[in-house]
Amino acid sequence: MLPCAAEDAVTLGEGLTPLLAAPRIGAFLGVADLAIKDEGRNPTWSHKDRFSTVAVSVARARGAKIVATASSGNAGASLAAYAARAGLKCIVTTFAGSAGAMLSQIRKYGATVLPLVTKMDRWSLLAQAANRYDWFIASPYHGPVVGSHPLGIEGYKTMAYEIVEQSGGTAPDWCVLPVCYGDALSGLWSGFCELFAHGAITRLPRLVAAEVHGSLAAALASGADALADRQMVFDSLAVSIGTPRSTFQALKALRESHGHAVPVGNQGLVAMQERLAREEGIFAELASVTPLIAISTLRQKGIIAATDRVVAVVTASGLKDLDRSVTPDTNDQIFQTTQDAWRWLDAHEPGLTS
């Protein structure tokens, strides 16, 4: 089902991530049957590994020596890891404001990082590299954006296959995920459609895009096919999906699935991240908790019913953007003796010592 022969595969053991019941966070959101597909369990801790395994496999099979991408973090880290596995050179163009932890991860894999002040300059550099030097470009590099390399996007179909397999052969009522340019959304929808066409499932889920600046929501509301740039009126904590304009491929998947797009701001992001970690043991990147806020919004509007089965895709680990989600605690106690520690517990956590 993928555009690459098994013997050509470059793999780090990606996929087969858990689909976890999340009853406590589900009760908080008003959804009795909520499950979380935890893509942070992939080799580089994000769903991008499903893309990179296919893209790098195809690149190496075609004889490419250099792979490149424009990335704020996750895609770059993933492509760098798979390029290292394949013995290829990797170039990552990025921009000021990218999460520091992810840039460090990219460099550890041996990739070359090129930060540019202007985001669009990343694309012009990659376009020149493709034309002059025949680099294999994994990401978009011209506007309007039409998504990343189409063969790499095929890798995201495997999320749909796994969700159905892990759900006993049924599709959920809703599948919600964070969306930037819609690569994962498009690939996920393609996977569900293939399963439906082959008779593996009897119905298709509805998709929801949790976005930042609302280009998909605006296009759905207006009926337009061309997505307009949205004014970026705030600096999103969810840097992985902070684009002012998504793509037609994402819009197409939402329309075909009778889905929705929900703009999500910064308010409540860190609190939701902490609640998910505390109540379900899943530490998600800030962009990855936007689906939970989108579910809450649609539940309050009565669009998602309390009895619907909902799958939220957590696309990356919370370790990816600690520099954005954690404020250093200068008030941490340093205990000189165990007695000091016990006295502190008696005073601040009496339920533990009663």
Tens of pLDDT along the chain (354 residues)? 999 999 999 999 999 999 999 999 999 999 999 999 999 999 999 999 999 999 999 999 999 999 999 987 899 999 999 999 999 999 999 877 666 777 889 999 999 999 888 877 888 999 999 999 999 999 988 877 888 999 999 999 999 999 999 999 999 999 999 999 999 999 999 999 999 999 999 999 999 999 999 999 999 999 999 898 898 888 888 888 888 899 999 999 999 999 999 999 999 999 999 999 999 999 999 999 999 999 999 999 999 999 999 999 999 999 887 776 666 665 577 889 999 988 888 988 888 876
Cβ-based neighbour number of residue 354 at 10 Å: 6
Q: Is 177 exposed, middle or buried (0-12, 13-18, 19+ CB in 10 A)?
A: buried
How far is it, in rounded angstroms, from Cα 137 to Cα 139?
6
Cβ-based neighbour number of residue 290 at 10 Å: 33
The DSSP code for 113 is E
Distances in whole angstroms, Cα of residue 352 to Cα of each of 272, 331, 347: 25, 21, 10
Contact between 142 and 113 (Cβ < 8 Å): no
Q: pTM score, two decimals?
A: 0.93
How far is it, in rounded angstroms, from Cα 351 to Cα 349?
5
Cβ-based neighbour number of residue 86 at 10 Å: 20
Which tokens belong to 126? 């990659």
How far is it, in rounded angstroms, from Cα 150 to Cα 220?
24
Query: Tell me, what's the pLDDT at 67?
Result: 97
How far is it, in rounded angstroms, from Cα 255 to Cα 121?
32
Query: Tell me, what's the pLDDT at 329?
Result: 60
Domains of the chain, CATH where assigned:
6-41+156-325 (3.40.50.1100), 48-142 (3.40.50.1100)
Contact between 189 and 42 (Cβ < 8 Å): no
Q: What is the distance in angstroms between the CA of the first residue and the CA of the last residue of the chain?
A: 58
How far is it, in rounded angstroms, from Cα 5 to Cα 273?
39
Cβ-based neighbour number of residue 97 at 10 Å: 14
114: β partners: 93
Contact between 211 and 261 (Cβ < 8 Å): yes
Closest alpha carbon to 164 in 126, 130, 202, 128: 202
How far is it, in rounded angstroms, from Cα 164 to Cα 343?
51
Which tokens belong to 149? 């390399």
Alpha helices, H only, the chain: 23-29, 48-61, 74-86, 100-108, 119-133, 150-153, 157-166, 183-197, 215-222, 248-256, 269-280, 290-300, 322-325, 338-348, 350-353
Residue 27: partners with Cβ closer than 8 Å, 6 or more residues away: none
Contact between 239 and 324 (Cβ < 8 Å): yes
How far is it, in rounded angstroms, from Cα 330 to Cα 72?
29
